[in-house]
Amino acid sequence: MTSVNSRVVDPVRVLVLGSGQMGCGIARLVLDKPGLELAGLFAKRSERAGMNVGRAIGLERDLDLGIHTDLTTAIDEAEPHVAVQATCSRLSAASVEIAALLRRSIHVVSIAEEMAYPAHRSPALADELHALATAHGVGVVGTGINPGFVLDLLVIALSGVCSEIRSIAAERVNDLCPYGPTVLASQGVGLDREAFVRGLDDGSVVGHYGFPESIHMIADTLGWDIEHIDEQRTPIITTVRRVTPWLTVEPGMVAGCLHQAVAYRRGEPVIKLLHPQQIHPKLDGVDTGDRIEISGTPDVRLAGSPEIPGGQATCALAVNMIPRLLNAAPGLHTAAGLPVPAALLGDARQQIRQRLALHRHD
Amino acid sequence: MTSVNSRVVDPVRVLVLGSGQMGCGIARLVLDKPGLELAGLFAKRSERAGMNVGRAIGLERDLDLGIHTDLTTAIDEAEPHVAVQATCSRLSAASVEIAALLRRSIHVVSIAEEMAYPAHRSPALADELHALATAHGVGVVGTGINPGFVLDLLVIALSGVCSEIRSIAAERVNDLCPYGPTVLASQGVGLDREAFVRGLDDGSVVGHYGFPESIHMIADTLGWDIEHIDEQRTPIITTVRRVTPWLTVEPGMVAGCLHQAVAYRRGEPVIKLLHPQQIHPKLDGVDTGDRIEISGTPDVRLAGSPEIPGGQATCALAVNMIPRLLNAAPGLHTAAGLPVPAALLGDARQQIRQRLALHRHD
């Protein structure tokens, strides 16, 4: 059973792309994990160039690594087996970096939201990444808490106990307080109702990235054809004062965005995903949490409160996915097509069955 | 992404082993699923020989299939691609049938409890099954609601959002009312306290099968070494009268078995699994349900009530596992080493990537 023909002896060298909250969190985890080695950090922001990685990721010590803002140089210096990408949300941006990595025979775990199920946004780009990964003998997969876990992979896992399913409802109610001004602005926090609507029109208020990805991951895995998806974004108007380090929201103003998506099959709503994101939901009597309800044979209901913390979970998923990806066949994968990422608590090399086949080891 | 090189055109022929509640339930599901074909039913009980499969599995019509009580004949008649085994709980019994199937290049999904993680009971037998499966180009895997899902695979799936874990607690509180006299006797239902203790001694009261399997599946997947497992079985004494079609339990008598297992690592209890099984728990104020709590970074709590119905779920898992197994590399697998089984709602052939490589198709 998963018998080991040849153990990996050297640590798995990991290049982290991204020097924001996620990239730094992932880099710290990589440093902590036996069997993984932080091989480098790539930052898009030019002001990061040359900074010491240790200080940049919040350690109180220097590491023998500098930040690179040129990807080719970062790869040359790091000679990584695998890269974890935390630089962007969109497939169009993510795929450029990913293609460059794949061409160098580097496996890629991406937390870009649209990489959770890239065949939805662009079947052509997904095919291209698959072909490139296959040709270079490496794998690529998207992960993250949402899309990637709570509203799709966990739904799929629970569906396994069902012989029939009529409909699926899942919701994730979270608190935006841990996030910075960019995320808050994307949910319209602090706006008035009219500015929120204008923000939806001009694209500055976006709500959640990833409902179509989650829905298609679920539907394709279960074997459902989806006709169309209705998405709706409405402002969450607070009745109480809510304060964060970044801004204060007075009663009557927008505390966040209630984003929902309903997917239709044969004219019936079969998947309903709800994701209200706001600051301090408890101040207005709203409990945070994750909830999945499957109506079928049998019915399945599972819920947890508070919600699984998104930032911590996304960093963990990205790192925990590394052995799963390295054990998989070359190509583009989705989280639903690999064994579930499990907490990596032992030596990562013990979880990797195949010798890393890399150009520099040839 | 999981691009399909060659679609499977013929239905996947499924032989079901077992004519009890589980075997019949699985056979009915196979009949219902597009892309799967019920190719035969094997029964161990000789009085089933020659019975029509349709009537035996509870249909109100005959099928063009007779029950066979000789496995070789059943295989010869069915010419199956895959067999689903629902004949026994123990590895020693299961492995004899499984070996016979593997030698005929037939994939095997087993719901035998000890097949959920056979390397625990017998590393030698697990190695043998792995070698046999590999040599014959087919796969074998164990599944079921417990062991196989609630207290192990779902725990592992949730662990994926964690970077560190201190301890794991999971419990499944169920109602034995849907089960027959054999299951009730195995939990000591209807005995007095002294007879329950004697039953533990003489092996007639067994509690739950599968805690060591669940614990080792979790620990091995996460990378924890377990030093020892303490198992404890105590009688659940009812304070109220509880009635089932099979027996009546008066106050002061045993309504079920509270079985728990605690696994130790470095002297610390790290995995605690609890499974009280009884008839009519609600009559004594006990709610049924499934609950998982991970203490770590971050903490994760998920729970659902009532519990996922065990019988329905095990039948569904067995059938839903078929495409996952047929897509996997040859060999012995565990549920944690394959993509999670998802509800099979479309044509099973759409979910199967590789051409079925069987002797009869050569």
What pLDDT score does A8 carry?
Answer: 58
> B153-307: which CATH topology?
Dihydrodipicolinate Reductase; domain 2 (3.30.360)
Q: What share of chain A is helix, strand, coil (3-state, %, to 5)?
A: 35, 25, 40
pLDDT at B7 over 70: no
CA distance A4 to chain B (A): 12
Cβ contact (<8 Å) for A303 and B298?
no
Q: Is A344 on the interface with B (CB under 8 A)?
A: yes
**Per-residue model confidence as pLDDT tens digits over A238-285:** 999 999 998 999 999 999 999 999 999 999 999 999 999 999 999 999
Residue A333: predicted pLDDT: 97
Q: Which CATH number fits domain B2-144+312-358: 3.40.50.720, 3.30.70.60, 3.40.1360.10, 3.30.70.20?
A: 3.40.50.720
- Residues of B in Cβ contact (< 8 Å) with A149: 160-161
Q: Which residues of chain B does A353 touch, with a Cβ-Cβ cutoff of 8 Å?
A: none
Nearest by CB to B302, which of A302, A333, A343? A302
Interface membership of B349 toward A (CB under 8 Å):
no
pTM above 0.90, yes or no: yes
Q: Is B308 on the interface with A (CB under 8 A)?
A: yes
Instruction: Assess A219–B contact: CB distance below 8 Å, yes or no.
Output: no
**Average pLDDT over every residue of B55-76:** 95
- The confidence score (pLDDT) of residue A49 equals 87
pLDDT tens figures, B221-250: 999 999 999 999 999 999 999 999 989 999
Give the residue ranges of DSSP H helices in A104-188: 118-121, 123-135, 153-159, 181-186
The domain limits of chain B are 2-144+312-358, 153-307
- Mention every residue, 6+ apart, whose C-beta is less than 8 A from residue B4: B353
User: What is the mean predicted confidence (pLDDT) over A314-323?
Assistant: 98
CA nearest to B141 within chain A: A1
Q: Which whole number is the average pLDDT over A216-245?
A: 97
| Cβ within 8 Å, pair B350-A223 | yes
Question: Backbone phi, then psi, for A278, in 5-degree steps?
Answer: -155, 165
Q: Is the CB of B219 inside 8 Å of chain A's CB atoms?
A: no
The average pLDDT across B140-150 equals: 98
Residue B4: predicted pLDDT: 39
pLDDT over 70 at B287, yes or no? yes
Q: Is the pLDDT at A44 greater than 50, yes or no?
A: yes
What six digits make up the tokens of A337?
Answer: 């097509």
Whether residue B6 is predicted with pLDDT greater than 60 in this model: the reply is no
Using CA atoms in the order A47, A49, A50, A53, what is the torsion angle rounded to 10 degrees? 90
As a whole number, mean pLDDT of residues A115-121 equals 96
Q: What was the pLDDT predicted at A48?
A: 87
Chain A environment of B338 (Cβ under 8 Å) = 339
Task: Share the mean pLDDT of chain A.
Answer: 94
- Whether residue A68 is predicted with pLDDT greater than 90 in this model: the reply is yes
Instruction: Encode pLDDT of B166-200 as tens digits.
Output: 999 999 999 999 888 888 999 999 999 999 999 99
Do A1 and B130 lie within an 8 Å CB cutoff? yes
Say which range, A190-204, B7-21, B185-199, B324-338, has the weakest mean pLDDT. Answer: B7-21
Kindly state whether A188 is in contact with chain B, defined as any CB-CB distance less than 8 angstroms. no
Q: Are strands B254-265 and B268-278 parallel, antiparallel or unpaired?
A: antiparallel
Any B CB within 8 A of A141 CB? no
Residues of B in contact with A291 (CB under 8 A): none
Asked if A338 has any chain B CB less than 8 Å from its own CB, the reply is yes
Residue B264's Cβ-count burial label (10 Å; 0-12, 13-18, 19+) is middle
Question: Taking 90 as the threshold, does the pLDDT of residue B290 lie above it?
Answer: yes
Nearest to A344 among B223, B304, B333 (CB): B223
Task: Say yes or no for a CB contact (<8 Å) between B165 and A345.
Answer: yes
Q: Given CB atoms, is A178 within the 8 Å cutoff of chain B?
A: no
Across the interface, which of A149, A332, A339 has its CB nearest the CB of B337?
A339
pLDDT band for position A66 (50/70/90)? confident
Quickly state the pLDDT bin for A179 (edges 50, 70, 90): confident
Say yes or no: B165 contacts chain A, CB-CB below 8 A.
yes
B138 three-state secondary structure: coil
Closest Cβ–Cβ partner in A119, A156, A315 for B1 = A119
Is the per-residue pLDDT at B206 higher than 50? yes
CB B252 within 8 A of CB B263: no
Higher-confidence residue of A31 and A183: namely A31
Which residue(s) pair with A259 in the sheet?
A233, A275
Question: How many angstroms separate the CA atoms of B160 and A351, rounded?
Answer: 14
B346 touches chain A (CB under 8 A): yes
Q: CB distance B346–A1 less than 8 Å? A: no
ipTM of the complex: 0.95
pLDDT at A7: 52
* Cα distance between the two ends of chain A: 28
φ, ψ (nearest 5 deg) of residue A26 = -65, -45
Shortest distance between the Cα of A5 and any Cα of chain B, in A, equals 13
Per-residue pLDDT band for A357 (boundaries 50, 70, 90) equals very low
Using 50, 70 and 90 to split pLDDT, how confident is the model at A180?
Answer: confident
Of B224, B313, B342, the CB nearest to A298: B313
Residue A47: its pLDDT value, please?
A: 87
| Cα dist from B321 to A191, B209, B335, B344, whole Å | 49, 21, 9, 9
B68 pLDDT higher than 50: yes
What percentage of residues in chain B have a pLDDT greater than 70? 95
Please write the tens of the pLDDT for every residue from A328-351.
Answer: 999 999 999 999 999 999 999 988
| Mean pLDDT, rounded, for B81-106 | 97
Give the closest-approach CA distance of B163 to chain A in angstroms: 5
Contact A302 B297 (CB under 8 A): no
A334: contact with B, CB 8 A cutoff: yes
Out of A162, A305, A340, whose CB is closest to B157? A340
